[in-house]
C-alpha cells in the first residue's frame, strides 16, 4: 500500500523560508520519480518541482531559483526547501508519486503573509 506523509507546513512572513518533507512507503523509492504540487481553492493542482530517480530536477517557472527539491533514498524521503517565500506561494502542498493519476499525500498548508 502506497503511503505518502508530508511534514513541515506552516505560517511564515514574506521573504521567509520553510522546508517540507515527504516520507514514502510501499514503493521502490530509490527507483521512483517524485514530485511536489500545490493547490489553492478553486484552482487545479500546479506542479511545483520534480525529482527523478537519478536526482535530476525540474521546477515550475514560478518557483525557479527559490525552491529546491531533493531526496534521501536512505530515508525514503523527499524535501522541498522554499526560500524568499511570497504571498502567492500560499497553498496546500502535496507530495506525489506516479503523476497526476498516481498517489498523493494528505497535503500540508503553507501560508505566507505579506
Count the alpha carbons within 13 Å of 101 in the hemisphere toward its beta carbon.
0
Mean pLDDT across the stretch 91-102?
A: 96
Nearest 5°: phi and psi at 73? -65, -30
- Cα(66)–Cα(81) distance, rounded to whole angstroms? 8
Nearest to 97 by CA among 21, 42, 25, 44: 25
Mean pLDDT across the stretch 67-75?
A: 98
Listed in sequence order, the residues at least 6 apart from 13 whose beta carbon sits closer than 8 Å to its beta carbon are 112, 113
- Mean of the per-residue pLDDT values of the chain: 97
Mean pLDDT across the stretch 106-110?
A: 97
Nearest to 66 by CA among 7, 99, 18: 18
Question: Do 22 and 77 form a contact (C-beta atoms < 8 A)?
Answer: yes
Tell me what pLDDT residue 17 has: 98
Count the alpha carbons within 13 Å of 66 in the hemisphere toward its beta carbon.
17
Tell me what pLDDT residue 105 has: 97
Amino acid at each position: 500500500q502506497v503511503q505518502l506523509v508530508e511534514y513541515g507546513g506552516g505560517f511564515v512572513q514574506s521573504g521567509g523560508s520553510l522546508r517540507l518533507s515527504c516520507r514514502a512507503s510501499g514503493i521502490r523509492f530509490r527507483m521512483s520519480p517524485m514530485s511536489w504540487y500545490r493547490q489553492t481553492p478553486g484552482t487545479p493542482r500546479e506542479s511545483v518541482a520534480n525529482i527523478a530517480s537519478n536526482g535530476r530536477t525540474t521546477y515550475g517557472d514560478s518557483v525557479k531559483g527559490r525552491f529546491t527539491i531533493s531526496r534521501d533514498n536512505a530515508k525514503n524521503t523527499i524535501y522541498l526547501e522554499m526560500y524568499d517565500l511570497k504571498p502567492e506561494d500560499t497553498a496546500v502542498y502535496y507530495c506525489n508519486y506516479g503523476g497526476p493519476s498516481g498517489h498523493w499525500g494528505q497535503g500540508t498548508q503553507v501560508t505566507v503573509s505579506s
